Amino acid sequence: MRAWQMTSLGAAPILARIEQPTPRHGEALVRVAAAGLNFADLLMAEGRYQNRPVLPFVPGMEFSGWVEGLGPDTNGPAVGSRVIGVCGTGALAEYLCMPIARLAQMPDAMSMVDGAAFQIAFGTSHLALAHKARLQPGETLFVTGAAGGVGLTAVAIGKRMGARVIASARGADKLGIARAAGADILIDSDAPDLKEALRDLGGVDVVYDAVGGPAFDAALRACKPDGRLLAIGFASGQVPQVPANLLLVKNLTVTGFWYGGYQDHAPQLVADSMATLLNWYVDGDLRPHVSHVLPFENLVEGLDQLRQRTASGKVVIAVTAPDATI
């Protein structure tokens, strides 16, 4: 089969022919229709991600596709079933094997593009906001990087959960995307004095930050008493340093969140969250924003769009379906 491989950290992946995998007991063989790209794919390719797979490895963390077969003595979705899954690595190949327990049936109305774009971004935001931050209806949620892959889903989920959503992104176009996702108030990330702008809006109950750097510090200082700050990622390249005296005086909570960790130590929590999200999708409350769908051969272009931040929402690679819209 064809598969992209990382053979050297920091180098571009290469398109190679490797042996098609065979499912073991408890696994399904999946023909991959489409794979969603994530900022974490860039970090993993550079050896800067929490998970450091042994070289060579096939990148790609999430996928949609069809069940092609089952391992020995394995009960699971029927051959031909449309499924989605989060695999950590391996999605950027024509076939992969996955534990049955980590596959979810796709709703009939969901396209392969939406399935590939849906899981990590929406799953991250839902677990972070509902489980970790305990976001309540009527509270104010501030989202940095609000037009990015996870930031945009935080806007949509925050609105679905009844929050007042303040979104920060760079430029009118990206702010327009955040507004379309449900943001109530927009702040250009290049505008001066973010802290005062947030304070003038009454302060913040929950911060969802995937950017790091100065925006995190400004949001920290604009938090209301008992505010909760979610450290989701550091796309700016600057890891914030948290002054403990501010946490003490205002009873603030700073919480780290890594979706992959929950898949390992709390899989049922992840499964229940995804079931809720898929129901919201069926109800029409959530739709992934996909700015680019690229052919399998154009993976390097898709990664560059993430690196240069020219994409909004998600970039999806069509693997074995020509446009992955089936």
Position 324 confidence tier, pLDDT thresholds 50, 70, 90: low
Q: How far apart are CA 14 and CA 297, in angstroms?
A: 10
| Residue type, position 86, single letter | V
Q: How far apart are CA 304 and CA 306, in angstroms?
A: 5
* Same topology between domain 2-119+261-318 and domain 137-257: no
Return the pLDDT at 239: 84
Return the pLDDT at 240: 85
Residue 78, token pair as written in the block: 């029927």
Residue 281, token pair as written in the block: 């999708």
Is residue 317 over pLDDT 90? yes
Which class for 10: exposed (0-12), middle (13-18), buried (19 or more C-beta within 10 A)?
Answer: exposed
Return the pLDDT at 263: 85
Q: Give bridge partners of residue 186 from the DSSP assignment.
A: 167
Is residue 156 over pLDDT 90? yes
Tell me the pLDDT of the chain averaged across its residues: 94
**CATH says 2-119+261-318 is which class?**
alpha beta
Position 325 confidence tier, pLDDT thresholds 50, 70, 90: low
Give the residue-averaged pLDDT of 195-203.
97
Q: How far apart are CA 206 and CA 140, in angstroms?
A: 6
Is residue 326 over pLDDT 80? no
Give the residue-averaged pLDDT of 242-253.
93
Return the pLDDT at 65: 97
Give me the architecture of the 137-257 domain, per CATH. Answer: 3-Layer(aba) Sandwich (3.40)
Q: How far apart are CA 139 and CA 165, in angstroms?
A: 9
Q: How far apart are CA 207 and CA 218, in angstroms?
A: 11
pLDDT tens profile 20-51 = 999 999 999 999 999 999 999 999 999 988 88
pTM of the complete model = 0.93
φ and ψ at residue 140, rounded to 5 degrees = -100, 125
Residue spans per domain, the chain:
2-119+261-318, 137-257
pLDDT tens profile 212-226 = 999 999 999 999 999
